[in-house]
Amino acid sequence: MKRVITTAAVFAAAVLLLSGCSGGSGGDSGSSGFEFWSFTGINQKADVEVYKKAHPDVPIKLTEVGSTTETAQALTAALAGGKVPDLVLIQGDDLPKFMQSPENFVDLATLGGDKMKGDYLDWVMKQSTTEDGKIVGIPTDVGGMAIAYRTDLFKAAGLPTDREQVSKLWPTWDAFTEVGKQYVQATGKPFLDNTPTSIFFQAVNQGTERYYDADRKLSYDKNPQVKAAFDLTLKVFAAGISGKQASFSTGWTAGMTKGDFAVVSAPAWMLGSIRTNAPGTAGKWDIATIPGGSGNWGGSYLAIPKRAKNPEAAWKYIAEMQSPAGQLANFLSKGNLPTTPSVYTDPQLVGRAEPFFSNAPIGKIYTQSVLNIKPFYIGPDDATVGSELLNTLTSVEQGKVDPANAWDTALTNVKNALRG
């Protein structure tokens, strides 16, 4: 997920890290410890604490740099000559631009990654492997998709509440929109949180190609699948079912608690955000299949910069925490969906029922979403293109862009961003 940030915020983060105030290896790292950069919002601290309990003699300095974009910007600045961390978490859509310069990172195949690569989903591992076999990153999770919905609000609107019945209500996004209209008519309240992330970001990721074509050339402005996802989003917005609350905003978190909307497109990792932001709604949520049946939103990779002072210590962390057993444990504790398909049939994963979400079998629901994915090429400008399209649709919801001009505005914004 891409969050809108200011240029000043990026610059401030980069300057801070380049100055060494919170970046670089050293200090209390020690010969067996390491410096770790992560982005915020995913509670990486919990993973570090798990590792430290098993290895109390290994000091780890965790720095949560900022958003995914801020973290990528800070890493770019550090790689250009600043102090680098020993380990860094890179969001999936940001990875391709770093893959253009694999020499900036340790080839993890030389540390044991060549023996582990078969443990992961092929299409996920392929994104962090160069054509000549160098491994830049090891995947930590994948963002299988589903719809989180409020059973109490559905009941009040006269809609079914059983997850299987609800899933059958919306085999397509058009059907989903019709359910939304019924809900609004019955309650007078918005149906979903917003259209940019809950509609566009899901639909555009369900195609066979996204912003690049089969020849790995930018094609966002010519790809009918991208235009269809964009137009779908405008159509859903025009239906009047959106709460216009941008994901992760203050209004979004407050609205989740107050019941200002009944539906959120929720990757596996977002379940933790719902639990944290709306603890008083426990037992009022359930999980249904996403329209279209599959999708992916998110997923990250751990990488070791070439100039890391303690690459061996960082690798030991990767090898243990991202092993199939490590990813299964992470799923059971935090809900992050493993990228290691060998655990998809594990009784602990298959049998995992989430009490907060009406005992929904989240292991079954999310793994099915991932197994049905048709992967597409993700290129170095994917993050920029996706952010600008998403931001334009957000501006539509905020009344700053006329829907009739939205596509042309979005294309202009993308081209300006790519030039900048």
**Rounded Cα gap, residues 120 and 27, in angstroms:** 35
| Of 393, 403, 397, 398, nearest in space to 413 by CA | 393
* pLDDT tens, residue order, the chain (420 aa): 333 333 333 333 333 333 333 333 333 334 579 999 999 878 899 999 999 999 999 999 999 999 998 999 999 999 999 899 999 999 998 999 999 999 999 999 999 999 999 999 999 999 999 999 999 999 999 988 999 999 999 999 999 999 999 999 999 999 999 999 999 999 999 999 999 999 999 999 998 999 999 999 999 999 999 999 999 999 999 999 999 999 989 999 999 999 999 999 999 989 988 998 999 999 999 999 999 988 888 899 999 999 999 999 999 999 999 999 999 999 998 889 999 999 999 999 999 999 999 999 999 999 988 887 878 889 999 989 999 999 999 999 999 999 999 999 999 999 999 997
Instruction: Assess contact for 63 and 22: CB atoms under 8 A.
Output: yes
Strand order, beta sheet including 138-144: 60-64, 34-38, 87-91, 296-303, 138-144
CA 80 from centre of chain: 26
Give pTM, 2 decimals: 0.85
Q: What is the pLDDT of residue 41?
A: 79
Q: Which one of 3.10.450.50, 3.50.50.60, 2.40.30.10, 3.40.190.10 gives the CATH number of domain 144-297+360-419? A: 3.40.190.10
The β-bridge partners of 285 are 150
Between CA 47 and CA 302 the distance in angstroms is: 13
Q: Is 298 left (phi over 0), alpha (psi -120 to 50) or beta?
A: left
For residue 129, report the phi and psi dihedrals to the nearest 5 degrees: -120, 130
Tell me, yes or no, if the two domains 7-142+298-350 and 144-297+360-419 fold the same way. yes
The region that residue 159 occupies, defined by phi over 0 for left and psi between -120 and 50 for alpha, beta otherwise, is beta
Domain boundaries, the chain: 7-142+298-350, 144-297+360-419
The rounded distance, in Å, linking the Cα atoms of 144 and 38 is 21
Using CA atoms, how far apart are residues 243 and 326, in angstroms rounded to an integer? 38
pLDDT of residue 399: 97
Asked if residue 290 lies in contact with residue 265, where contact means CB atoms within 8 angstroms, the answer is: yes
DSSP letters along 65-124, please? -SSHHHHHHHHHHHHTTSPPPSEEEEEGGGHHHHHT-GGGB--GGGTTHHHHGGGS-HHH
pLDDT of residue 29: 38
- Residue 172 backbone zone (phi > 0: left; psi -120 to 50: alpha; other: beta): beta
Instruction: Report d(CA 145, CA 369) in Å as an integer.
Output: 6
The matching CATH number, chosen from 2.40.220.10, 3.40.50.11810, 3.40.190.10, 1.10.10.10, for 7-142+298-350 is 3.40.190.10
**Pair 84, 26: CB distance under 8 Å:** no
- What confidence score (pLDDT) does residue 374 get? 79
pLDDT score recorded for residue 281:
97
* Euclidean distance between CA atoms 221 and 230, whole angstroms: 11
